[in-house]
Structure 1
Amino acid sequence: MLMMLPGLGLFYAGMARSKNVLSVLTQILASIALICVLWTAYGYSLTFDGESSPNAVIGGTSKLFLAGITPDSLVGTIPEYLYMLFMMMFAAITPPIIVGAFAERMKFAAVLIFMGIWLTINYIPMAHMAWGGGWVFNVGVQDFAGGNVVHLNAGIAALVCALVLGPRKGYGTQMMAPHNLTMTYTGGAMLWVGWLAFCGGCALAASGFATLVMLNTMLGGAGGALGWMAVEWFHRKRPSTFGLLSGTIAGLVAITPACGFVGPGGAIAIGFLVTPFCVLFVESVKRRFGYDDSFDVFGVHGVAAFVGGILTVIFASPGLGGLGYAEGRSMLSQMVPQVAIMGFSILVSAVTTFIALKAADVLVGLRVDQETEFEGLDTGEHGEVGYRLGDGVYGGAPVPLHEAQPVLQPAMSVSKQH
């Protein structure tokens, strides 16, 4: 919850232009609420009911609306309600990550339709295959806390969304710098705090191993922050706050699959080494191909998850301080299924995302009209504004459109990578 509502919300909202700050927050909040209800209705059952209808791709229906679960029900040694709640948090944070790719131009109704369909045809089968007894679980991939199901999945979906929706009006010719880096910093800091439980909780116990997972998570973020700072300092001769935040998130994404398989030294190395790849995609590849991934979801989550998955196998080696491989496996034999399953995840994410987008397009259309995009989604879609000139932060009733005031943005030094 810390990662989702204040964390991701503020992190993304600060990166938006001031006229779209509330639209980003609203899309994230509404998506989370929708997903929590859908997860309770059928998501948990279709993901983790592997007993009533054993299936390699999707779970059963015996736990629809949490049927049969009582306060005494257990998953291992923990209450099943607690397990359901923890996994609901995973389900609820994954689709909203994609918001950062289509921010400032997608209809609110289309966002909700997309989220519901994507959860159903993408996340639930992916989670069942990896965690709920499906075929991917039996392959033995080293992905401790959702590098594939969460971050690679959302990162590829973000790229597809950016390509299908097309760039924002004025992209490449108008200034689209973050309107409030202080807000982004606050959200990024909350993400880092919450990430400790995101990964550590996957141990499903309060133990020394869970503590190692949390330590690795902390150090992965630290390594990422220093790595991005080093690249930026060398390249531009000065580091930026935005760069440190971007590197922290990249490091946390990269350590997510690795946190239960590597040692603390390996965690630092993974976070540090992944950042040059992310910088390359954020600054060069995106510009080269001209796609508008608004907040660089693909460049950070997608790229860091893929590179982190490869580095996981390397630094799991006992010679590098890792915890080793399954019996009979070497680094090479572990790398083969690792890369193959990441390739499978990329394919599934691309296809299901395209289907979900097209369904939303048919039902309500994807993009807001040009006037709404120019005016801003806050007023055009929600009839309210985040800021009013001379009044500070606006927190009252919706403002009539003719009264909405533009915001004077202070001059600021902003890193060019976004």
Structure 2
Amino acid sequence: MFYNIFYHNIANTNPNANEYTGYRGDGICIAYDAENTVRIYHNVFFRNANAIYAEQLLSGSLNNYNVVNNIFYNTPKERAVLMIDSEFDMDIYNNCFFGYAISNTGKALKYEPFYASSYDEVDADPRMDTTTFALRFDSPCIDAGLGDYDYDEAENHHFGWRRDIGAFECQGTKVRRYLTSGDVGKTLYFGGQARAIIQLNQATLSDSAYIDVTVHPGALPAGVSGAVQRYYTITASGLENFDLDLTLSYKDSELNNQPEEQLHLLRQEGVHWTGPFFTAADTAANWVRAEHITALSTWILTADTTLVGIVSNGDARPLTFQLYSAYPNPFNPATTIRFDVPRAAVVEVTVYNTLGQRVRTLVNERLAPGKYRIQWDGRNQQGGVLPTGLYFVRMKSEWFTAVRKVMLIK
């Protein structure tokens, strides 16, 4: 045949994987008169003997022998054999190898022949579900494959920027990238629905450092209306002294009447927003980039500059501390709480139930003089939804304490 293509398949736990005879236990066997082209793309080979075995091929019969974007997972311990065993040269691009055997001489039994060329391989646990073979949110195979997507909002926005390694594309809203010193200076792709890019210019990393990118598609953060209906929560662990470039994406269907050519990024800082952050944008591919970011938090894409800083009435500075009644009240699902700070002070705004138990801390930081507002979404500190009932909002500083009642209804 002219083309021999094995594409988007699962070669799963061959029942003969532990046997020693013939080709039994192999995922794919290629032999004799296979002609011209063999392409093995986007598959999972799970607990086979030789995942790919090729022998007795006609000399020069294969002009293109490509093994691309596959996961090779766990050769059975009973078989100290190669994951890919071939007598013919091949090109191996962006594959993940995990659980391979080690020979008596200490060689990793991943592939032969000696002249095989392997590019950009992932030599790590693919972190996939071994029942469904879907990639988990922290898989190193997400957006690690060969081939970028030609952007199409309907077709591939939810797949990320690049093809994944494996049989199935990640479509989750959260992606984690574990970091090593080798990632400093590199571009990190966050695929699935997150569809973000971080260029890590510099950083100090501890062991098990990572960055989490979570997207909230079709939603707005509390207290914000004039923004793209998609926001991001970006957090990190073991990451210090960093400088990074951040690229966030959006859909045309999420623009929420925001002028696309004026979009920039804002970062939440306490009870207000900082920015704008902007370096470049692409309205065809639907992304906005900001460079030299040194703090992470919640991020929005917006053309509205009035969200930045303290929410105030003109240039007026409040004369006294004040906690206003929440609005709306009663409320469901969220209410806005306004308060005034006439001079710099550490301010705490907390919510209590009728038993006097603190259920949520909304603000606990030093604030500059100004008029502030914050939304409460009816959830406790752990993110759980609170029951219908009466609650008390307390504002406290060194010079002032006030309490207002608020009713949560379902």
Give the structure-2-normalised TM-score: 0.23
Higher strand proportion (structure 1 or 2): 2
Largest Rg, 1 or 2: 2
Higher helix proportion (structure 1 or 2): 1
Higher relative contact order (CA 8 A, sep 6+): 1
